[in-house]
Every structure is written in C-alpha cells, then in structure tokens.
Amino acid sequence: MRRALALSGGLALVAALGACDGDDAATGATTTPTPTPGAVEANAVVDWVVDGDTIDVIIDGVEERVRLTGIDTPEIAHESSGDRPGNDAECFADAAHEYARALIDVGTPVRLERDVVARDDYGRLLAYVYRASDGIFVNYELVRQGYATPLSIEPNTTYAELMVDAARDAERDDVGLWAACR
C-alpha cells in the first residue's frame, strides 16, 4: 500500500480527515451519502483487473485505466523494468487482486461514477465502481471485506466516511488483511 503509516495509524489518520466531511454544523449530524442497491445501468465493461484497486475498462470502444476512488489495496509484486526497480508483493495483495476479480472479472458490465476530480496524475480515471447486474458498490465491498483500506484524497471524498466505517467494521470483525497482516 502506498503509505508509510501502519494500517491502524493510517486508518486513524483517514478517519480524522474523513470526519471533516459531511458534518451538518447546525445539528452535528453526518450526511454521508450511501449508494442505492439494485441493478444499475452499465457505462463500461471490465477488460482487465490490474490489481485490487485498478482495472481496465472499455467505454464506447476505448480502453481506459481506472483507479478505484477512496480505497487502497496492498501492492502486488512488480518486476524491475528499465530504470524502475521491482518490488515484492505486500501482505494480502494477491488475495485483494483475486477478490476484485471475483467481484468484477473480465467482461463484467459496470457503472463508473466520478467524484470532483476525474483523473489522477497518471492519467487514470478516478471512479466509484458498481457491478451493473446488482449494484454492488465494489470500492465499498473491497474495504468492508478487509481487502482494502480507505484512502481519501481531497476533493474526491464523497464516500470517505462510508469507507472509514467499512474499515472499522472489517477490523472489528478481524477479516481480510486485518487478520492476515498483523
């Protein structure tokens, strides 16, 4: 995972940052949006699952690389190439990759929804991903089942609080990387 903080420390930092979003100053209540379950209209088809938080999709005949917004999964192993050094897989990376494939394998129709910023510094689309057949919120499921941790980067924080809550539940239930990577 792309952070120097330990998982629990990182979660605490993200929780603190996420707590700033969605607060109603008048009532003190939070206004975290929640996705609506059920089938959704697809606007892309999965072409490849790169790793736990990155996929390639086809949109109107064009392939796009998509980074799932609001989450971070452990890094899979990469071989060195050119001037880029390789790295070993992080704890639970292969499991996160496999779980992402189980949710949205090649050929799966999906709905991509963006937040405020559409692309990252690498040109990847930033999106919340929903499986079209049943509306499963893939980003959320990866966190809730313990395959990812929250990663909120302003201004794309629509579901930051939801992701932090999902991570707390996964950690409490001792599932996924919370059980395997202590």
The catalytic residues are 67, 75, 124
Rounded CA-CA distance 178/131 in Å is 25
Rounded CA-CA distance 173/27 in Å is 31
The H or E element containing residue 20 is none
Strand partners, 4: none
Rounded CA-CA distance 51/54 in Å is 5
* Location of structure tokens 């990155």: 54
Rounded CA-CA distance 52/145 in Å is 12
